[in-house]
């Protein structure tokens, strides 16, 4: 049963060539939805089929895709997100970076499933999508401006109800840490996706849509959504912890387990954790919650620091700009986080890279005034990074390149060139395997085993054990790939099971999708990403953690542990159906309908 609104299958793929300024609309091939749903899966498939191996991510040959999914702007909770898929300048891998806010819903309401930007413009431009009207407009007036001013100016120039996804100076200067910002405070932060926009001289996409969005089976969706909302309400994480404290609720929890990376992962316990915790944020700075489109959880925060209204800060940002650099001033962290938002920089990677610099200084590898625990000069350094000035230009390449340049590659806490987030892998074996095998590098979201290993969701599993972890990592990687292709928020994962996602995906697309089929779609996406990366030259040796994680932490509740990747990786490859070098077998690729 379908209603009269626009279905996902009727949405368009909008091809925008910035080189010759042509705009073309195409229908979504049915098999693309059936095999890859939308969002991340759709983007990965298009890149795999169309990008030549070995291209420079910052060249006109790279594509950048802004995609939504079958659930976007429907009644599915949290379905207002969008995903950016491109070849990453930070990692050289295929990359998907996600943001909340309201932009995704506007894009979908304009009748678009994905905007595929190719080529490069000679002068700064922005894309104005106003329902069926699409224009490439001059952006020279906002080029060089921070993301907040850019957002305000482009809304003034278009429609007060429009939503903006834009880059700041960091993206314009094509630094590897550049993010894409939307609604001023939400970021598609990771992988340098902002730099790819900058390389194309694309300052922003502005979207306004007024179409009513429909689904293939509205009755089924209504039932599943009712149930999904109940589950969010009944779950302690989604109904209490996240709404009350936001993501920083994790800070004290992770610290008490001795796995809060401190001083560039030299320690796992931060003495002043309480001072930068979610509880302290609530008491001191937080003013109100921020809910993304269609979200009943509301984990976002709007805070006030040093007399200024700022977004966040989120857990990962507090960690990277705080304990990672030995800093315990929560208000300063909020200001530094805001600075990153304005400049359009990934807070995780910039904080981790600065922490790496601090350790280089500590070990006498580099002479500089930056030192652990001292905020002096960091805000200026962040400015320098965004504008690619002086030492900042070197830091803007990320910790992997920077540390190697100074003769200490082992001090970069990264996987495949992407800085590792706020969980020391020595304290969580499954999560460690997730870092090592992530297709986009050091990422906590491809397989968030912090759920079962730390938070007991859905059940607590022994964080120190390697038994069964390969199996769970694969389950979470496949499910995450499917969730990112529907496109919904990762936090629903605390409340919903595989079956819930499958029910909603089936209702939105009209396809026969049960839990196993959804995981198969996720597996297909995962394996296609793997094939993309293999084509780019990645091998088994890239599925590894920095050597630091083979040395035990000296103290705290995760002391005397190392990340046992070598124990888990063979089992992981075997369960994936890959050979000993990590190559998917022909049989598997055939089963998944992936061309060889």
Q: Closer CB to other proteins, residue 134 or residue 518?
A: 518
Q: How far is the CB of 471 from other proteins (least distance, A)?
A: 4
Q: How far is the CB of 462 from other proteins (least distance, A)?
A: 5
Q: How far is the CB of 470 from other proteins (least distance, A)?
A: 8
Q: How far is the CB of 240 from other proteins (least distance, A)?
A: 13
Taking alpha carbons only, the member of 122, 143, 129 closest to residue 200 is 122
CB 153 within 8 A of CB 142: yes
Q: How far is the CB of 78 from other proteins (least distance, A)?
A: 18
Q: Closer CB to other proteins, residue 7 or residue 475?
A: 475
Q: How far is the CB of 468 from other proteins (least distance, A)?
A: 3
CB 245 within 8 A of CB 285: no
Work out the number of other CB atoms within 10 angstroms of the CB of residue 512.
9
Query: How many Cα atoms within 13 Å fall on the side-chain side of residue 269?
Result: 11
Q: How far is the CB of 429 from other proteins (least distance, A)?
A: 11
Which DSSP state fits 581? T
Place of tokens 């026969």: 512
**Helix (H, G, I), strand (E, B), or coil: what is residue 415?**
strand
Taking alpha carbons only, the member of 310, 299, 315, 316 closest to residue 489 is 299
Q: Closer CB to other proteins, residue 234 or residue 288?
A: 234
Q: How far is the CB of 453 from other proteins (least distance, A)?
A: 11
Q: Closer CB to other proteins, residue 75 or residue 235?
A: 235
Q: How many helices and strands in the chain, by DSSP H and E?
A: 24, 17
Q: How far is the CB of 215 from other proteins (least distance, A)?
A: 23
Q: How far is the CB of 469 from other proteins (least distance, A)?
A: 7
Q: How far is the CB of 426 from other proteins (least distance, A)?
A: 12
Q: Closer CB to other proteins, residue 16 or residue 257?
A: 257
Give the E-state strand segments of 18-93 in sequence order. 22-27, 64-67, 82-87
Q: Closer CB to other proteins, residue 137 or residue 227?
A: 227
- β-pairing verdict for 22-27 and 12-17: antiparallel
Beta-ladder partners of 178: 345
**Helix (H, G, I), strand (E, B), or coil: what is residue 74?**
coil
Measured in degrees and rounded to the nearest 5, phi and psi for residue 486 equal -75, -50
Work out the number of other CB atoms within 10 angstroms of the CB of residue 104.
31
Distance (Å, rounded) from C-alpha 454 to C-alpha 484?
23
- Spatial CB neighbours of 58, under 8 Å, sequence gap ≥ 6: 89, 174, 195, 196, 199
Tell me the CA end-to-end span of the chain in Å, nearest whole number.
Answer: 38
Q: How far is the CB of 244 from other proteins (least distance, A)?
A: 18
Q: Closer CB to other proteins, residue 95 or residue 496?
A: 496
**Helix (H, G, I), strand (E, B), or coil: what is residue 175?**
coil
Tokens of 282: 């609530």
Q: Closer CB to other proteins, residue 329 or residue 499?
A: 499
**Helix (H, G, I), strand (E, B), or coil: what is residue 292?**
coil
Q: Closer CB to other proteins, residue 165 or residue 232?
A: 232
Q: Closer CB to other proteins, residue 114 or residue 486?
A: 486
Q: Closer CB to other proteins, residue 280 or residue 524?
A: 524
Q: Closer CB to other proteins, residue 234 or residue 287?
A: 234
Q: Give all strands of the β-sheet with 186-188 in edge-to-edge order.
A: 133-138, 125-130, 202-208, 163-166, 180-182, 186-188
Q: Please, what's the largest Cα pairwise distance for the chain?
A: 68
Q: How many residues appear in the chain?
A: 596
Burial tier of 148 (Cβ tally within 10 Å: 0-12, 13-18, 19+): middle
Interface residues toward other proteins, by CB under 8 A: 231, 234-235, 258, 452, 456-465, 467-469, 471-472, 475, 495, 497-499, 515, 519, 556-559
- Spatial CB neighbours of 158, under 8 Å, sequence gap ≥ 6: 128, 130, 206, 208
Q: Closer CB to other proteins, residue 328 or residue 457?
A: 457
Q: How far is the CB of 498 from other proteins (least distance, A)?
A: 6
């Amino acid at each position: 049963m379908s209603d009269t609104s626009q279905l996902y299958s009727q949405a368009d793929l909008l091809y925008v060539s910035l080189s010759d300024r042509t705009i073309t609309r195409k229908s979504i091939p049915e098999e693309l939805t059936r095999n890859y749903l939308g969002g991340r899966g759709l983007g990965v498939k298009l890149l795999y089929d169309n990008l030549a191996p070995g291209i420079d991510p910052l060249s006109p040959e790279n594509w950048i895709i802004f995609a939504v999914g079958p659930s976007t702007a429907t009644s599915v909770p949290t379905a207002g997100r969008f995903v950016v898929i491109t070849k990453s300048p930070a990692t050289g891998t295929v990359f998907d970076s996600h943001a909340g806010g309201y932009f995704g819903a506007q894009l979908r309401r304009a009748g678009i499933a994905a905007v595929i930007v190719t080529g490069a413009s000679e002068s700064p431009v922005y894309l104005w999508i106003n329902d069926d009207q699409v224009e490439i407009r001059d952006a020279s007036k906002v080029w060089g401006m921070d993301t907040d001013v850019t957002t305000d100016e482009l809304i003034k120039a278009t429609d007060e109800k429009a939503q903006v996804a834009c880059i700041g100076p960091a993206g314009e200067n094509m630094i590897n840490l550049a993010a894409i910002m939307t609604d001023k405070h939400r970021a598609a932060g990771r992988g340098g996706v902002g730099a790819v926009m900058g390389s194309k001289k694309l300052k922003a996409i502005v979207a306004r849509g007024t179409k009513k969005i429909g689904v293939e089976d509205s009755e089924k969706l209504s039932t599943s959504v009712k149930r999904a909302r109940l589950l969010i309400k009944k779950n302690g994480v989604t109904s209490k912890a996240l709404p009350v404290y936001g993501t920083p609720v994790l800070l004290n929890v992770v610290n008490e387990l001795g796995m809060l990376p401190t001083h560039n992962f030299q320690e796992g316990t931060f003495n002043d954790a309480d001072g930068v915790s979610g509880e302290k944020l609530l008491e001191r700075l937080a003013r109100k919650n921020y809910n993304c489109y269609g979200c009943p959880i509301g984990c976002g925060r709007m805070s006030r620091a040093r007399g200024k209204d700022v977004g966040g800060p989120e857990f990962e940002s507090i960690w990277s700009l705080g304990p990672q650099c030995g800093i315990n001033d929560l208000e300063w962290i909020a200001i530094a986080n805001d600075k990153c938002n304005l400049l359009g920089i990934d807070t995780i990677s910039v904080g981790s890279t600065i922490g790496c610099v601090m350790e280089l200084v500590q070990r006498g590898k580099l002479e500089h005034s930056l030192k652990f625990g001292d905020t002096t000069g960091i805000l200026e350094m962040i400015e320098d990074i965004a504008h690619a000035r002086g030492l900042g230009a070197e830091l803007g390449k990320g910790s992997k390149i920077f540390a190697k340049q100074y003769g200490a590659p082992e001090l970069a806490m990264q996987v495949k060139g992407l800085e590792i987030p706020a969980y020391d892998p020595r304290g969580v074996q499954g999560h460690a395997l997730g870092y090592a095998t992530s297709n986009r590098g050091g990422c906590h979201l491809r397989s968030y085993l912090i759920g079962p290993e730390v938070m007991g969701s859905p059940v607590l599993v022994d964080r120190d054990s390697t038994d069964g972890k390969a199996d769970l990592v694969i389950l979470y990687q496949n499910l995450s790939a499917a969730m990112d292709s529907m496109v919904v928020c990762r936090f629903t994962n605390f409340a919903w099971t595989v079956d819930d996602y499958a029910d909603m995906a089936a209702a939105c697309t009209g396809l026969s999708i049960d839990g196993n089929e959804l995981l198969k779609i996720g597996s297909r996406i995962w394996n296609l990403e793997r094939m993309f990366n293999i084509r780019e030259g990645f091998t088994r040796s890239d599925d590894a953690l920095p050597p630091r994680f083979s040395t035990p932490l000296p103290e705290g509740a995760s002391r005397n542990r190392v990340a046992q990747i070598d124990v888990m990786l063979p089992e992981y490859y075997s369960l994936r159906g890959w050979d000993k070098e990590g190559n998917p077998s022909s049989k598997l690729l055939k089963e998944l309908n992936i061309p060889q």
